[in-house]
């Protein structure tokens, strides 16, 4: 199944701010997005469903410190990034 990343304007602003604050994570961030599009279930992404107020969303790991929350629209094979940041900031 081929997946397509769909970026919203709001996410692009959040991602730009994240990369401005954490320029050291830029390479890992780009690599994570490529892997997400190729295979969202790859073990290194540590994809998992979220609960509580973020129920319905999933999380993937950029590295041990940073995460991306995503919405996976299974029927249309689309992945919509929602937010990016540190573990405590997202959850």
**Tens digit of each residue's pLDDT (9 = 90 or more) over 12-28:** 999 999 999 999 999 99
- With contact defined as beta carbons under 8 Å apart, do 5 and 33 qualify? yes
| pTM, two decimal places | 0.88
Phi, psi (degrees; rounded to nearest 5) at 5: -85, 130
Q: What is the mean pLDDT of the segment spanning 65-73?
A: 91
CA pair distance 4, 53, nearest whole angstrom: 26
CA pair distance 87, 3, nearest whole angstrom: 25
Residue 86 pLDDT grade (very low, low, confident, very high; cuts 50, 70, 90): confident
**Residues 22-58 pLDDT 10s:** 999 999 999 999 999 999 999 999 999 999 999 999 9
What the chain holds in terms of domains, given with CATH numbers, is: 4-90 (3.30.2310.20)
- With contact defined as beta carbons under 8 Å apart, do 79 and 46 qualify? no
Which pLDDT does position 90 carry in this prediction?
75
CA pair distance 39, 82, nearest whole angstrom: 18
């Amino acid at each position: 199944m081929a997946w397509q990343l769909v970026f919203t304007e709001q996410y692009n602003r959040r991602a730009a701010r994240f990369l401005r604050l954490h320029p050291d994570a830029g390479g890992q961030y780009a690599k994570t997005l490529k892997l997400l599009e190729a295979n969202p279930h790859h073990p290194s992404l540590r994809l998992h469903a979220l609960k509580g107020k973020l129920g319905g969303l999933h999380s993937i790991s950029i590295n041990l410190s940073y995460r991306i929350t995503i919405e996976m629209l299974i029927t249309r094979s689309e992945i919509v990034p929602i937010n990016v940041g540190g573990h405590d900031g997202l959850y």
